[in-house]
Structure 1
């Protein structure tokens, strides 16, 4: 590459023996991507179509699954193209866009999980006031904030990143994440401060809020009847599973990149994929199997006139 091309394009150097296993990689990840689209969109369709699922809890679940579809679509098509290409490169502008969307949608996931935790808290701890608190307007405000707040913050961070001069043009990952900071000629203090601020208010604060609300729910359930405890388990357990998995993977990705820790290439590839594999792939199955109303409609959808036998 000549100098101008180096300035324009970045090399994605996180692939492992892609020339040898390109078709295996391509077919595997194509299957995964199709499965993510089909499973998530099926549950979203049911929540949109069935009137008995037009409740705040299910609306938030649909938003969470839609968020997973957007996150996957931001990564998988480019990843599939790279598997079939002789060189794995991406333009600097496209890399900034991909990295911005990853953290925008990743932050939105935490905020959506926080709204779901609040919804469960009101439902279980203040059932008599649930209808007056969780009105349609409240739900719309929560959903708008979950996407707009990270979007505004990430736009500012991306603007600062776009102004930085690059002295390196090789990323050690298969997609653009905050490892792009390692390409800058000079470490930007402004980017570090803004990044920490965003991490605090769209990841750490929501997680603390979620832990607090579920602690309150557990205390209430401990003093309540077995029926209340069973209801809480059915509605809260899926959220806790999703949160614990996503938080661990997200923090691994943020911390290891920031610390510039050198993992073996294969280990780095595997861990990088977890963030865009586990939750988008397993969320619809977790909610589809654990949430009784959704499970009931899934059975009817796929079994139709054989519902009784299924």
Structure 2
């Protein structure tokens, strides 16, 4: 009842319910949340530290990996601390400004992550299909410029969402059945006409998922065609190993992303707590797996990580 009274007395406050239907298990659910988050931070900060210390890793491929690591650190950081506050201390209240801020940064980092994967696919395309021109096409300075372009694109794409929502009045009881300010839930509470933002959101999904995935598919299609023409088995295997590593990163990101979006669009019969758990796992699992996948499958990086983390006699 305190939550309902709070929303009525302060219309700018929302209540995050955590995982609806599983409130009694919040403490137990917080354990894997916390573990995944800690592992994600340790793995990604280790990767950033190793690449930063090793001059031999100051290459476009590893700089792109650092960009990916930064997004993997930011993504769960915008969600997990608040979720743990709900699970451990019942801190469910969040202001509209806080809600929109969380939503903006979370979606902005997601778009940045997708753009980074596109850039990584282009990097591998140039490295395999135009190796003699690689140093001139993709220098470290060019990677920095591409990273800036990815950031600007993400900000411009996502900024209209919180701006539009900040101008809306909200009906219902201001209760969000989630651990985060989910945009799909928030805009359904808007009292005014949301046709424009609905169309924009669908266009945004089409551009980010459709356009980015098309560019990635095109890059890897050209890579595969080039690899099949290589006569050397060693070069053939090396190129395939690189492609497989990147493919694993993309599967861990795009598969849960697409599945989570589809469940919100077409999964009306799915229990609410399943929606919430899927949405949270999408934000927790890829950031934890990405540095592990790359560290295991890239010998040069694996050796450098071992140099700094393993005790030698």
Maintained 8 Å contact 1:107/1:203: no
Maintained 8 Å contact 1:19/1:86: no
**Distance between the aligned counterparts of 2:302 and 2:90, measured in 1?**
44
**Distance between the aligned counterparts of 2:259 and 2:128, measured in 1?**
33
* CA spacing shift, 1:262–1:288, aligned 2, 3 Å: same
Structure 2, gaps ≥5 residues long: none
Maintained 8 Å contact 1:173/1:272: no
Matched, 1:210 2:220: no
Which residue number corresponds to residue 81 of structure 1? 85
1:80-99 C-alpha deviation (Å, 9 max, x unpaired): 11112335232221111111
**Distance between the aligned counterparts of 1:164 and 1:220, measured in 2?**
52
Maintained 8 Å contact 2:7/2:13: no
4+ residue segments displaced more than 6 Å: none
> What pairs with 1:50-199 in structure 2 (closer than 5 Å)?
50-86=54-90, 88-168=92-172, 169-179=174-184, 180-199=186-205
1:176-196 C-alpha deviation (Å, 9 max, x unpaired): 122211111234122123223
Which residue number corresponds to residue 276 of structure 1? 283
**Distance between the aligned counterparts of 2:213 and 2:138, measured in 1?**
21
Structure 1, gaps ≥5 residues long: none
**Distance between the aligned counterparts of 2:161 and 2:89, measured in 1?**
31
Q: TM-score, normalised by structure 1?
A: 0.92
Maintained 8 Å contact 2:15/2:176: yes
Could you tell me how far 1:16 is from its partner in structure 2?
Answer: 4.6
CA RMSD of aligned residues (A): 1.9
Q: Secondary structure, in 3 states, of the residue corresponding to 2:169?
A: coil
Matched, 1:246 2:253: yes
**Distance between the aligned counterparts of 2:197 and 2:258, measured in 1?**
18
**Distance between the aligned counterparts of 1:30 and 1:3, measured in 2?**
29
Which residue number corresponds to residue 48 of structure 1? 52
